[in-house]
Amino acid sequence: MKTLHTTDPGFPAAWAKLCARGSEEDEGPVREAAARVVADVRARGDAALLELTERFDGWKPASAEALAFGPAEFKAAFRQLPRAARQALELAAGRITAFHEREIDAEVKTFRDRAGATLGQVTRPLRRVGVYAPGGTARYPSTILMTAIPARVAGVDEIVACSPGVRGTGEVDLWTLAACHVAGVAKLFRAGGAQAVAAMAYGTATVPPVDKICGPGNAYVAAAKRLVFGQVDIDMIAGPTEVVVVAGPRADPREAASDLLAQAEHDVRAVPVLLTPSPALAEEVDAEVARQLADLPRREIAGRSIAERGALVVTRDVAEAVALADDFAPEHLALLLPDAARWVRRIRRAGAVFAGTNTPEAVGDYVAGPSHVLPTAGTARFASPLSVATFRRRMSVLDLSPAALAAVAPAVEALAAAEGFEAHARAVRFRVAAGKARPSAPRKVSKGRGTKAKPRLLKVVR
């Protein structure tokens, strides 16, 4: 792995390049190819989906209906798994459910203000959502759990999933089907890539249109999600996975190396970074990565990630390492520090923080509880992990009494006149003139309820 030192004159430029992640390398060609696929599926529906599945996945479905699996297949797959596998899925599902059931929506509880207006917000679940589980070089039943279960907890009426079948055969592994069973998925369609995203966004005769698409995928999936946003909502534009490990001088190099490789084995474009104030530890981790790579089944993938996108960064002290980690805004941040909880307070920008040496990121991928669908490529600066809130929308509710309307009418008319919208002013004026709205003295509000002091209104000169 390449080694950087924060004391080197060229470090700022090297760090900026590392933070960029190289996520825009093939954006033009990828987006153009995805746009053609999305347009084709939107225009021709099932026919395009079948042709594209044969072209990209190397197998020919007998019909569009043959793409779909339902509850019966999910249950049968679950029963075919060994007992230990079933228990693992149920443990993961139970922990994910328990965590997300504790979420509290950020809504405005209904209240009545001094003027007599009743105001508030309520939350409502989406009607139908689509979750995408990647295929290709690996299978991801965990992604089914991490997307569908929060949607189910949110109260979504119907959850459908798309995941590409095995190239050449179209088969779907038992783990993925069984995950659909425990997560409450209604149907899974053996379709992947941009064509799956388009099918869920616009709908076909076989694939129902959804309100929101969630889940990670390759560059074509990300490009397609960007293209269909507006027709449907999306969770985020997910880039290659990434991890930043902050390790103190006494950290175990085996643990640090394994955390780096746990992300590197996902994808050749994964970004594994170590930050440590110890040059000796950096050298030990570098050697340990090479040792662990030797017998890693996915060593070719992990090796390229380590060589092309990985980095060991030697900092002045732990505080600088933590500050750089926050600047990177990583998807995963592992704090291999004896006092990790204290340093968490300094982190403002990360998808998920794994505090302490007993909390490997791998636990978060599978059974910890919070969804493993996290913001990547620096978007943790403003984006949040997938959660129950991802699948709910807030709706404002306004209910003015006649007195409340009369109280605010002059301000509405003044603002409407300032913006040149006479119809807005009339909509209020007609009601007041008809006697539906009569001003009354402001009612007293007890402490802790409503506004404590009457707001000052500026006199508007018209």
Answer yes or no: 331 catalytic.
Answer: yes
Beta pairing partners, 146: none
The one-letter code for the residue type at 357 is T
How many Cα atoms occupy the beta-carbon half-sphere of 60 within 13 Å?
1
137 is in an annotated binding site: no
Cβ atoms of residues 223 and 66 within 8 Å? no
265 is in an annotated binding site: no
220 is in an annotated binding site: no
Cα–Cα nearest to 385, from 445, 331, 333, 455: 331
Query: Which candidate in 331, 361, 372, 413 is catalytic?
Result: 331
| Region of residue 215 (left: phi > 0; alpha: psi -120 to 50; beta: else) | left
332 is in an annotated binding site: yes
What stretch of H or E contains 280?
Answer: helix 279-293
Neighbour tally for 198: CB within 10 Å: 31
Query: Which candidate in 100, 181, 332, 372 is catalytic?
Result: 332
132 is in an annotated binding site: yes
Collapsing DSSP states into helix, strand and coil, what is residue 334?
Answer: strand
181 is in an annotated binding site: no
| Token reading at 345 | 């307070």
Reduced 3-state DSSP string for 222-235: HHHHHHHECCEEEC
What stretch of H or E contains 42?
Answer: helix 27-44
How many Cα atoms occupy the beta-carbon half-sphere of 50 within 13 Å?
14
Cβ atoms of residues 397 and 122 within 8 Å? yes
The four Cα atoms 64, 66, 71, 76 give a dihedral, to 10 degrees, of -170
What lies within 8 Å, CB to CB, of 110 at 6+ separation is 118, 119, 120, 397
Answer yes or no: 5 catalytic.
Answer: no
358 is in an annotated binding site: no
51 is in an annotated binding site: no
Collapsing DSSP states into helix, strand and coil, what is residue 410?
Answer: helix
- What values do phi and psi take at 389, rounded to 5? -60, -25
Cα–Cα nearest to 350, from 278, 273, 251, 279: 273
What lies within 8 Å, CB to CB, of 151 at 6+ separation is 126, 129, 131, 159, 214, 390, 391
Cα–Cα nearest to 359, from 330, 334, 385, 331: 334
5 is in an annotated binding site: no
- Extract the annotated binding site for Zn(2+): 263, 266, 365, 424
- Extract the annotated binding site: 132, 195, 218, 241, 263, 266, 332, 365, 419, 424
Task: List residues with catalytic annotation.
Answer: 331-332
- Extract the annotated binding site for substrate: 241, 263, 266, 332, 365, 419, 424
